[in-house]
Amino acid sequence: MCTTKSDNHSNNDSSVESNDSVIIRNKKYIKGCYPVYKNDTYPIDSVPFDQITHLTICFAWPNADGTLFTSEINDIDTIVSKCHQNDVKAILNIGGAGVGENFPTVSIDSVLRKKFISNLTNYTVMHKIDGIEIDWEYWPTPEKVDTVVSSAIVSLFRDLRSALPNNLALSYDVYSGDWYGKHYPSELINYADEIVIMAFDNTGSWSDIGHHSPPSLVDSSYNYWIRRIGLDNKNKVVISTPLYGYNFRKDHSKGSDSTVTTLVYNDVLDEHPEAYLQDTIVTDSSIFFHNSSTTFKQKIDFIKDNDLKGISIWELSYDMGTKNKSLLKYINSEINKK
């Protein structure tokens, strides 16, 4: 089992003093996801660093030959420097939806695995990045666990943890339930400082009308993973939450792509100011579900009541321009309130 190194690299685990002089211990993480492919419309200077503790830089990913694809990241050194100037940790996210096909290839082959880990470790150290987050979202046999791939995932995490300097964090993203969750071996937690539960996308075009990220999903996904990793690892749990929602036409039926659209918070707020407080917006023709401040309050209370590590936000640009109705500001004001 790997010894957790979180005490060495955390900038927020020690006691801190709030504005009202109340001592807050074990300050919770607020990890804001930064999509580098939006650099033109959401440059690094747009990031509200005062509202987050970690910036998750999305994405790099493995190439089939064991090299690291980073071409979408414009000027990593500037991004990391901005983080450190603002006392924020820079985390490099490896993977993401639609770009993980090479994970099995580089993990199964010991030579490629060693090459990939070397490239990733060197890149991370060279650019003074504070941690790695593995977002493995590709499975060659989604319905059934591939035992070869499963074993390779463990080898990847074991070898990566061994190669990374002790002061660098290692975390990984997981799905909220068993459909994809079963592919992540439970023993990965032994090599990781954090497990980030993606508690969203529970509904969509494939489902009946319903909320895709209600507080109840945080509860059920947490319980699912605690059964897998053990209660003694609850302090490694980060709950990932969305700043987008799904708009269902009222005539939607399960499996219909044409009757569901994705809408992000700042766009919805322009038309529905009440979205700051209401997670369900009903019009004559549609029903929109998202995470309002009311929903976030329930999720934050769950994180605090269960003494979890913190919250992750997908993604920061969806809150841009929302001023006094910023959900990120709300989260920041609530999650470490005594």
Nearest to 36, CA basis, from 22, 48, 46: 46
Residue ranges making up the domain that contains 57: 6-243+291-335
Token output for 234: 């609850």
Question: Is 200 in contact with 212 (CB distance < 8 Å)?
Answer: yes
Question: Is 132 in contact with 140 (CB distance < 8 Å)?
Answer: no
What's residue 26's pLDDT? 61
Residue type, 254: K
Residue 233 covered by a domain: yes
Residue 279 covered by a domain: no
Residue 330 covered by a domain: yes
What's residue 180's pLDDT? 95
Q: Give the number of other CB atoms < 10 A from CB of residue 43.
A: 12
Nearest to 165, CA basis, from 203, 135, 216, 129: 129
* Structure letter (DSSP) for residue 144: S
Residue 1 covered by a domain: no
Question: Is 244 in contact with 290 (CB distance < 8 Å)?
Answer: yes
pTM value is: 0.92
Residue 127 covered by a domain: yes
**Percentages (nearest 5) of helix, strand, coil residues in the chain:** 40, 20, 35
Residue 265 covered by a domain: no
Residue 234 covered by a domain: yes
Residue 92 covered by a domain: yes
HSE-up of residue 179 (Cα within 13 Å, Cβ side): 6
What's residue 338's pLDDT? 78
> Could you tell me the CATH number of the domain that includes residue 239?
3.20.20.80
| CA gap 297, 28 in Å, rounded | 14
Count of structural domains within the chain? 1
pLDDT in tens, the chain (338 residues): 333 333 334 444 443 333 333 334 469 999 999 999 999 999 999 999 999 999 999 999 999 999 999 999 989 999 999 999 999 999 999 999 999 999 999 999 999 999 999 999 999 999 999 999 999 999 999 999 999 999 999 999 999 999 999 999 999 999 999 999 999 999 999 999 999 999 999 999 999 999 999 999 999 999 999 999 999 999 999 999 999 999 999 999 999 999 999 999 999 999 999 999 999 999 999 999 999 999 999 999 999 999 999 999 999 999 999 999 999 999 999 999 87
CA 212 to chain centre: 16
